[in-house]
Structure 1
Amino acid sequence: MTNVARPTLTVYAPRTNATGTAVVVIPGGGFQGLAMDLEGTEICDWLSSRGITCVLLKYRVPSIPYVWQCACRPHNHSLSLPSLEDVQRTLRLVRAHAAQWRINPHKVGVIGFSAGGFLVAEASTYFEARLYPRVDAADQLSSRPDFAIAVYPGHLSMAKNSIALNPLIESHVTAQTPPTFLLQNEDDHVDQIEDSLSYYMALKKAGVPVELHAYAQGGHAFGLRATHLPVGSWPKLVEQWLGTIGMLGPR
């Protein structure tokens, strides 16, 4: 999906015992398009089958200045404002509808893939920034995720073979950054293992609970598609991690 000028969200109710947990799903696509099936609807089918309310976000793209083809890498110096505004607004709307959707407003997290993984890091570190004018009462609520999951995130590190974190993110990592789950493959040739490693080290330094899973093989943009490789077990790892941080227990 390309040329999204109007953001939307789609709610997937739990298909089994409701946990009270909600996850905003942020597909990837290089801020040029959105992988709404591979990293969207398929993810929501999985999450809703585990008792989690899934909120699929279709955010605005393309999103200046995120033009990955540009060698000047302008995205390392500016926020992806339209996309990040959409994520913040969605998190607030989920909390505003917590009673209606039978959600615990303190169990609202994010999961993102590739460019969506970078948005996860932005949402996790810029939640105190007021990026758009107040629309309604929902905008009085917090946009801080209670937990964050970034799968093969992109453009967090400044260079290959370096764990220097993008300064846009590094300057906002604090102890208030939510618990985070990171996953990436060594042979990811679209983004790189250093993206997860750089963010992991910054979170660790700040005292944020963080879990990192790194694999030798698996490439990029695999979503939930079947694979014989060890990385194919990542959904079970996420479920176990959510349990350890108290997000899959009683409402």
Structure 2
Amino acid sequence: MTPYLAPGPHAPAVIVCPGGSYFWHDMDGEGRQVGEWLSRNGISAFVLRYRTAYVPAFVTHYRLLFRGNRYPDCLNDLRQALRIVRQGAGKYGINPSRIGVMGFSAGGHLAMSSVELLPREEWPAFVVPVYPVVTMTAPCVHKRSRRGLLGDSREHNRRLCDSLSMEKHVPAGCPPVFVVNCKDDPIVNYHNAELLDSALTANHVPHRYIQYATGGHGFGASQTKGTAECRQWKDEFIRWFREISR
């Protein structure tokens, strides 16, 4: 993890999970820039380089024969990150009861996994999936992320795909969720976020869902990527976060 610490003795904190289809990471626009932006707004950030399949697995399919990195490695990394940040709260100057998880694209799927697949006592205080991968089943699955997460030998395992489809397992008492995406997303079908919004609504989870008309995918915390419309999400998140922190 790379820390971006906000001033103050009891700052809230966010573990940031950059996207990259569970094959690689965008450590700039969805990592460094996110950490710098959050810390400027009084929220300490810890950018996590969780295990992914990496490029050799993308180009060779060697995981048909060898395990490589695959689920649950990434979730175990996030789980350990939550433990480390909580246990180091005094050292980092953060409030251990106000630690959330923010993820982008495949990292958004990982962020939601932290409340759907970890024990309740280990849940983050809030979750922020940004243009997230949500489902592992047809018709709007992001196939590259599914392959990256599950591995070539398991990507069509129906039981595993169902168990890792976030819209199917929203738990009772889920912490607050902030979801954002764009309808013109050319990478991850925008219905992914709609599925999550519907599941959160059906389970009475406090959340906010913003769908922008334009902005595409992968804009992260950039000041130049996407559109002026979608870049509003950062201000909207800060407002939402202050509301749930009252």
TM-score by length of 1: 0.77
The question of 1:103 aligning with 2:82 is answered no
Sequence identity percentage: 33
What is the CA-CA distance between 1:167 and the residue it aligns to?
A: 4.8
Task: Specify every segment of 5 or more residues in structure 1 that has no aligned partner in the other structure, as ranges.
Answer: 1-8, 71-78, 130-141
1:80 corresponding residue in structure 2: 71
Aligned equivalent of 2:2, options 1, 5, 10: 10
Decide which of 96, 100, 110 is 1:119's aligned counterpart. Answer: 110
After TM superposition, give the deviation of residue 161 of structure 1 in Å: 6.9
Distance 2:140 2:92 in 1: 44
SS at match of 1:58: coil
User: CA separation of 1:214/1:43 partners in 2, compared to 1, >3 Å: closer, same or farther?
Assistant: same
The answer for the alignment partner of 2:133 in structure 1 is: 154
* Residue of structure 2 equivalent to 1:244: 243
Residues 49-91 of structure 1: per-residue CA shift (max 9 Å, x gap):
111111110111117xx97xx9xxxxxxxx8200011011101
Given that residues 184 and 215 in structure 2 are in contact (C-alpha distance below 8 angstroms), is that contact kept between their aligned partners in structure 1? yes
1:18 CA displacement: 6.1
Measure how far apart 1:230 and its partner are: 1.1
Distance 1:183 1:160, change over 3 A: farther
2:14 and 2:100 in contact (8 A); partners too: yes
Q: Which residue of 1 aligns with 2:149?
A: none
In 2, Cα distance between the equivalents of 1:188 and 1:27?
17
2:190 equivalent to 1:193: yes
What one-letter code is carried by the residue in structure 2 that aligns with 1:201? Answer: S
Aligned partners of 2:134 and 2:196 also within 8 Å: no
Provide the aligned C-alpha RMSD in A. Answer: 2.6
Aligned to 2:173: 176
Q: 1:125 to 1:207 in 2, by over 3 A?
A: same
On the 8 A contact 1:108/1:147 being kept in 2, the answer is: yes
Is this contact kept in 2: 1:160–1:194, CA < 8 A? no
| Map of 1:139 onto structure 2 | none
Aligned to 1:104, what secondary structure does the other structure show? strand
Note if 1:229 corresponds to 2:228: yes
Query: Partners in 1 of 2:38 and 2:221 — Cα distance?
Result: 11
Contact conserved, 2:115 with 2:171, CA < 8 A, in 1?
no
Provide Cα deviations, 1:83-119, integer angstroms capped at 9, x if missing partner: 0110111011111111121211110001100010010
The two structures have a TM-score, normalised by structure 2, of 0.79
Deviation of residue 159 (structure 1)? 3.7
Deviates more, 1:216-225 or 1:144-153: 216-225
Unaligned ranges ≥5, structure 2: 62-69, 142-160
* C-alpha distance in structure 2 between counterparts of 1:167 and 1:176, whole Å: 19
Distance 1:157 1:196 in 2: 13
Provide Cα deviations, 1:157-195, integer angstroms capped at 9, x if missing partner.
634579xx9553345312222110001111111102111
CA distance in 2, matches of 1:119, 1:20: 23
